[in-house]
Amino acid sequence: MDDSALFCVGYMMDIESHTIIYLRELLSTSVAEDPSITAFLSCWAYEEFFHSQILKRVLESQGITIDDRRFAELRRRKPADRVQQSFARLLSRMTRHFPAVHMTWGAINELSTLTGYQALIDRANHPLLTTVLTHIIKDERRHFSFYFNQAQTRLRPRAAQLLTSTIVRNFWGPVGSPVRGDTDARQVCNYLFADEERSHRLQRHDSTIARLPGLDWFDLASRYCGA
Ligand SMILES: [Fe+2]
Ligand SMILES: [Fe+2]
Protein backbone atom coordinates (compact mmCIF):
# COMPACT_ATOMS: atom_id res chain seq x y z
CA MET A 1 0.00 0.00 0.00
CA ASP A 2 1.44 3.43 -0.82
CA ASP A 3 1.86 6.22 1.71
CA SER A 4 -1.29 8.08 0.63
CA ALA A 5 -3.45 4.99 1.08
CA LEU A 6 -1.88 4.31 4.48
CA PHE A 7 -2.51 7.91 5.52
CA CYS A 8 -6.14 7.51 4.52
CA VAL A 9 -6.56 4.23 6.43
CA GLY A 10 -5.02 5.90 9.52
CA TYR A 11 -7.46 8.82 9.22
CA MET A 12 -10.40 6.43 8.96
CA MET A 13 -9.17 4.32 11.86
CA ASP A 14 -9.03 7.47 13.99
CA ILE A 15 -12.57 8.51 13.06
CA GLU A 16 -13.92 5.07 13.86
CA SER A 17 -12.11 5.00 17.20
CA HIS A 18 -13.57 8.38 18.12
CA THR A 19 -17.17 7.09 17.97
CA ILE A 20 -17.25 6.45 21.71
CA ILE A 21 -16.46 10.12 22.38
CA TYR A 22 -19.13 11.24 19.92
CA LEU A 23 -21.53 8.91 21.73
CA ARG A 24 -20.66 10.49 25.08
CA GLU A 25 -21.57 13.89 23.66
CA LEU A 26 -24.84 12.62 22.23
CA LEU A 27 -25.91 10.93 25.43
CA SER A 28 -25.61 14.22 27.28
CA THR A 29 -28.48 15.56 25.14
CA SER A 30 -32.20 14.72 25.11
CA VAL A 31 -31.44 11.97 22.57
CA ALA A 32 -30.66 9.74 25.58
CA GLU A 33 -34.39 9.81 26.43
CA ASP A 34 -35.45 8.22 23.14
CA PRO A 35 -35.33 4.39 23.48
CA SER A 36 -35.53 3.77 19.71
CA ILE A 37 -32.37 5.83 19.21
CA THR A 38 -30.43 4.50 22.21
CA ALA A 39 -31.13 0.90 21.15
CA PHE A 40 -29.51 1.65 17.80
CA LEU A 41 -26.61 3.62 19.32
CA SER A 42 -25.71 0.70 21.59
CA CYS A 43 -25.07 -1.61 18.61
CA TRP A 44 -23.65 1.18 16.44
CA ALA A 45 -20.85 2.08 18.89
CA TYR A 46 -19.91 -1.61 19.16
CA GLU A 47 -19.62 -2.01 15.38
CA GLU A 48 -17.67 1.24 14.89
CA PHE A 49 -15.20 0.14 17.58
CA PHE A 50 -14.48 -3.04 15.63
CA HIS A 51 -14.04 -1.06 12.42
CA SER A 52 -11.23 0.88 14.11
CA GLN A 53 -9.67 -2.35 15.36
CA ILE A 54 -9.78 -3.97 11.91
CA LEU A 55 -8.22 -0.90 10.27
CA LYS A 56 -5.54 -0.95 12.95
CA ARG A 57 -4.77 -4.56 11.97
CA VAL A 58 -4.58 -3.54 8.31
CA LEU A 59 -1.98 -0.90 9.17
CA GLU A 60 -0.06 -3.40 11.29
CA SER A 61 -0.04 -5.85 8.36
CA GLN A 62 1.78 -3.12 6.42
CA GLY A 63 4.49 -2.81 9.09
CA ILE A 64 2.99 0.16 10.96
CA THR A 65 2.76 -0.15 14.72
CA ILE A 66 -0.20 1.60 16.34
CA ASP A 67 0.22 2.36 20.00
CA ASP A 68 -3.07 2.65 21.94
CA ARG A 69 -1.74 5.93 23.38
CA ARG A 70 -2.47 7.40 19.93
CA PHE A 71 -6.21 7.14 20.68
CA ALA A 72 -5.82 8.67 24.14
CA GLU A 73 -3.85 11.54 22.62
CA LEU A 74 -6.52 12.17 19.98
CA ARG A 75 -9.16 12.35 22.70
CA ARG A 76 -7.15 14.85 24.72
CA ARG A 77 -6.78 17.14 21.70
CA LYS A 78 -10.27 18.39 21.02
CA PRO A 79 -10.64 21.85 22.48
CA ALA A 80 -14.06 22.60 20.97
CA ASP A 81 -15.67 19.68 22.80
CA ARG A 82 -17.00 21.50 25.84
CA VAL A 83 -18.48 24.42 23.90
CA GLN A 84 -20.11 22.14 21.33
CA GLN A 85 -21.38 19.82 24.02
CA SER A 86 -22.93 22.64 26.05
CA PHE A 87 -24.54 24.09 22.94
CA ALA A 88 -25.98 20.72 21.88
CA ARG A 89 -27.24 19.97 25.39
CA LEU A 90 -28.91 23.36 25.69
CA LEU A 91 -30.44 23.16 22.24
CA SER A 92 -31.80 19.69 22.92
CA ARG A 93 -33.64 21.04 25.99
CA MET A 94 -35.01 24.02 24.08
CA THR A 95 -36.54 22.20 21.12
CA ARG A 96 -38.16 18.81 20.57
CA HIS A 97 -36.70 18.83 17.05
CA PHE A 98 -33.11 18.23 18.15
CA PRO A 99 -33.22 14.49 17.22
CA ALA A 100 -33.96 15.57 13.62
CA VAL A 101 -30.61 17.40 13.60
CA HIS A 102 -28.82 14.43 15.12
CA MET A 103 -30.34 11.91 12.69
CA THR A 104 -29.54 14.13 9.69
CA TRP A 105 -25.98 14.66 10.92
CA GLY A 106 -25.60 10.91 11.39
CA ALA A 107 -26.97 10.18 7.90
CA ILE A 108 -24.42 12.59 6.35
CA ASN A 109 -21.53 11.12 8.37
CA GLU A 110 -22.42 7.51 7.57
CA LEU A 111 -22.91 8.22 3.87
CA SER A 112 -19.64 10.20 3.74
CA THR A 113 -17.85 7.32 5.44
CA LEU A 114 -19.15 4.67 3.08
CA THR A 115 -18.55 6.91 0.05
CA GLY A 116 -14.97 7.39 1.27
CA TYR A 117 -14.47 3.64 1.73
CA GLN A 118 -15.79 2.91 -1.76
CA ALA A 119 -13.41 5.50 -3.20
CA LEU A 120 -10.51 4.06 -1.18
CA ILE A 121 -11.16 0.57 -2.56
CA ASP A 122 -10.85 1.96 -6.12
CA ARG A 123 -7.95 4.26 -5.39
CA ALA A 124 -5.73 1.90 -3.35
CA ASN A 125 -6.62 -1.24 -5.37
CA HIS A 126 -5.18 -3.47 -2.67
CA PRO A 127 -6.70 -6.97 -2.13
CA LEU A 128 -6.59 -7.01 1.68
CA LEU A 129 -8.01 -3.51 1.95
CA THR A 130 -10.75 -4.34 -0.58
CA THR A 131 -11.82 -7.40 1.44
CA VAL A 132 -11.85 -5.54 4.76
CA LEU A 133 -13.62 -2.44 3.46
CA THR A 134 -16.25 -4.46 1.58
CA HIS A 135 -17.28 -5.96 4.94
CA ILE A 136 -17.17 -2.63 6.77
CA ILE A 137 -19.26 -0.97 4.05
CA LYS A 138 -22.11 -3.42 4.75
CA ASP A 139 -22.28 -2.12 8.34
CA GLU A 140 -22.03 1.49 7.20
CA ARG A 141 -24.96 1.00 4.82
CA ARG A 142 -27.08 -0.31 7.69
CA HIS A 143 -26.05 2.65 9.87
CA PHE A 144 -26.85 5.05 7.05
CA SER A 145 -30.30 3.47 6.50
CA PHE A 146 -31.22 3.89 10.15
CA TYR A 147 -30.17 7.54 10.34
CA PHE A 148 -31.65 8.42 6.94
CA ASN A 149 -35.04 6.82 7.62
CA GLN A 150 -35.22 8.42 11.06
CA ALA A 151 -34.25 11.79 9.59
CA GLN A 152 -36.94 11.52 6.92
CA THR A 153 -39.61 11.04 9.57
CA ARG A 154 -38.30 13.59 12.04
CA LEU A 155 -37.83 16.26 9.38
CA ARG A 156 -41.53 16.35 8.48
CA PRO A 157 -42.34 19.43 10.62
CA ARG A 158 -41.23 22.68 8.98
CA ALA A 159 -39.61 23.82 12.25
CA ALA A 160 -37.40 20.69 12.27
CA GLN A 161 -36.34 21.40 8.68
CA LEU A 162 -35.44 25.02 9.46
CA LEU A 163 -33.48 24.11 12.58
CA THR A 164 -31.61 21.26 10.85
CA SER A 165 -30.83 23.30 7.73
CA THR A 166 -29.49 26.20 9.78
CA ILE A 167 -27.22 23.97 11.86
CA VAL A 168 -25.96 21.85 8.96
CA ARG A 169 -25.32 24.94 6.78
CA ASN A 170 -23.33 26.70 9.49
CA PHE A 171 -21.55 23.92 11.35
CA TRP A 172 -21.09 20.99 8.96
CA GLY A 173 -17.55 19.75 8.33
CA PRO A 174 -16.37 16.51 6.73
CA VAL A 175 -16.50 13.47 8.96
CA GLY A 176 -13.28 13.26 10.98
CA SER A 177 -12.25 16.89 10.46
CA PRO A 178 -13.01 17.88 14.08
CA VAL A 179 -10.75 15.03 15.21
CA ARG A 180 -7.87 15.13 12.71
CA GLY A 181 -8.18 18.74 11.57
CA ASP A 182 -8.93 20.42 8.27
CA THR A 183 -5.49 19.85 6.70
CA ASP A 184 -5.73 16.08 7.07
CA ALA A 185 -9.37 16.04 5.91
CA ARG A 186 -8.35 17.92 2.74
CA GLN A 187 -5.46 15.54 2.12
CA VAL A 188 -7.84 12.56 2.31
CA CYS A 189 -10.33 14.36 0.09
CA ASN A 190 -7.70 15.16 -2.54
CA TYR A 191 -6.50 11.59 -2.57
CA LEU A 192 -9.96 10.03 -2.82
CA PHE A 193 -11.92 12.42 -5.01
CA ALA A 194 -9.40 14.25 -7.20
CA ASP A 195 -10.45 12.97 -10.63
CA GLU A 196 -13.69 13.49 -12.49
CA GLU A 197 -14.99 9.95 -12.17
CA ARG A 198 -14.52 9.91 -8.40
CA SER A 199 -15.96 13.39 -7.95
CA HIS A 200 -19.25 11.95 -9.28
CA ARG A 201 -19.39 9.90 -6.09
CA LEU A 202 -19.52 13.11 -4.09
CA GLN A 203 -22.27 14.51 -6.27
CA ARG A 204 -24.29 11.32 -5.72
CA HIS A 205 -23.59 11.64 -2.00
CA ASP A 206 -24.93 15.19 -1.94
CA SER A 207 -27.98 14.42 -4.07
CA THR A 208 -28.90 11.55 -1.70
CA ILE A 209 -28.77 13.87 1.32
CA ALA A 210 -30.71 16.48 -0.66
CA ARG A 211 -33.66 14.03 -0.76
CA LEU A 212 -34.25 14.72 2.95
CA PRO A 213 -37.09 17.16 3.65
CA GLY A 214 -35.78 20.74 3.71
CA LEU A 215 -32.25 19.77 2.59
CA ASP A 216 -32.75 20.09 -1.17
CA TRP A 217 -29.97 22.72 -1.18
CA PHE A 218 -27.33 20.32 0.20
CA ASP A 219 -24.07 20.35 -1.78
CA LEU A 220 -21.52 20.72 1.01
CA ALA A 221 -19.39 17.62 0.41
CA SER A 222 -18.86 18.49 -3.28
CA ARG A 223 -18.11 22.07 -2.38
CA TYR A 224 -15.61 21.10 0.32
CA CYS A 225 -13.70 18.83 -2.05
CA GLY A 226 -14.09 21.19 -5.02
CA ALA A 227 -15.93 18.56 -7.07
FE1 LIG B 1 -17.53 2.56 10.79
FE1 LIG C 1 -20.98 3.75 10.66
pLDDT in tens, 64-80: 988 888 887 877 776 55
- Residue 227 CA to ligand 2 center (angstroms) comes to 24
Q: Residues 196, 201, 204, CA angle at the centre, nearest 5°?
A: 120
Q: Which ligand has the minimum distance to the alpha carbon of residue 16?
A: 1
pTM for this model (two decimals): 0.92
- Residue 190 CA to ligand 2 center (angstroms) comes to 22
Q: Which ligand has the minimum distance to the alpha carbon of residue 143?
A: 2
- Residue 115 CA to ligand 2 center (angstroms) comes to 11
Half-sphere exposure of 136 (CA within 13 A, CB side): 29
CATH no. for 3-225: 1.10.620.20
Note whether 186 and 223 are within 8 A (CB). no
- Does residue 80 or residue 107 have the better pLDDT? 107
Q: Which residues contact 150 (CB under 8 A, 6 or more apart)?
A: 36, 37, 99, 103
Q: Where are the domains of the chain?
A: 3-225
Tell me which range, 36-45, 75-84, 174-183, is most confidently predicted by mean pLDDT: 36-45
- Residue 21 CA to ligand 1 center (angstroms) comes to 14
Q: Quick: pLDDT tens for 122-145.
A: 999 999 999 999 999 999 999 999
Main-chain dihedrals φ then ψ at residue 171, nearest 5 degrees: -120, -5
Torsion of CA 206, 181, 22, 219, to 10 degrees: -10
- Residue 192 CA to ligand 1 center (angstroms) comes to 17
Range 117-127 burial, b when 16+ CB lie within 10 A, else e: bbbbbebbebe
